[in-house]
Amino acid sequence: MVATPEVYQGQFGEFTIDESDRQGVIIYRAGLMIAAICFAVASGLVLFGKNPDIYRFVTPLYTGFSLALGVSLLTIHIYMAALHRTLQAFWLIGVIAALAIAHADPQPFIVTVYTNPLTILGVGFTFAALTGIYFKEAFCFNRLETKFLTLIVPVLLLGHMLSILPLQWERVLLGFWAVLFLVFAVRKVVQAIPPDIGDKSVFAYLKAQRTIRA
């Protein structure tokens, strides 16, 4: 016997949630979890590693972080299509910049970025996309950790790029970022799926409006 799907009342009509919707949310959350783990491990190597040779391991971790974040940006549900595309474009710019930086300097990627703060003008686009996710989650679900993350990320990156943050403060902010990112990812795992899908009637309405304008 096939269960009858639950019908939800949206702003512009009724809608149901199918298996593909649920799979999309699961992939979105899995991407966030992988990205958070890669970021936390890389941050741990930077903060607690005593041997500079370990910095080379940050590069594959950053690659995993970037790819997982890209998957999440493909599957995230955002009502404003222009904003969704903007975050994806930011991610792509950041990835291209990271590839260029990694291949232009024989030093480990993290060393190049740290010692050349202006490289943040390129790779920072990836973190701008990540901050967009934090902001979306803070706005939609009132998550305390994402409110802090929305502030921590630009403060740390801009502070380092402008050389106005003491090293100790950079280390503290990076540590908080890694921990809160993990907290956020774990809390997403246990969150009910339907809220992450959102009001599908709004998506249908916006799509119809775009079709009419076209």
pLDDT digits (tens, 9 = 90+) for 147-200: 999 999 999 999 999 999 999 999 999 999 999 999 999 999 999 998 888 888
Nearest to 101 by CA among 92, 110, 89: 110
The Cα–Cα gap between 214 and 208 comes to 10
Instruction: Report residue 64's pLDDT band, with 50, 70 and 90 as the boundaries.
Output: very high
Residue 156, phi then psi, degrees to nearest 5: -65, -50
10 or 127, greater pLDDT: 127
Range 46-55 average pLDDT: 90
Nearest to 67 by CA among 98, 110, 107, 22: 98
pLDDT at 158: 97
| Other beta carbons less than 10 A from residue 40's beta carbon | 19
Say yes or no to pLDDT of 5 above 80: no
Instruction: Report residue 18's pLDDT band, with 50, 70 and 90 as the boundaries.
Output: confident
Instruction: Report residue 125's pLDDT band, with 50, 70 and 90 as the boundaries.
Output: very high
- Model pTM score: 0.93
Cα distances from 182 to residues 138, 145, 185, in angstroms, run: 15, 10, 5
Cα distances from 46 to residues 53, 139, 172, 199, in angstroms, run: 11, 31, 12, 41
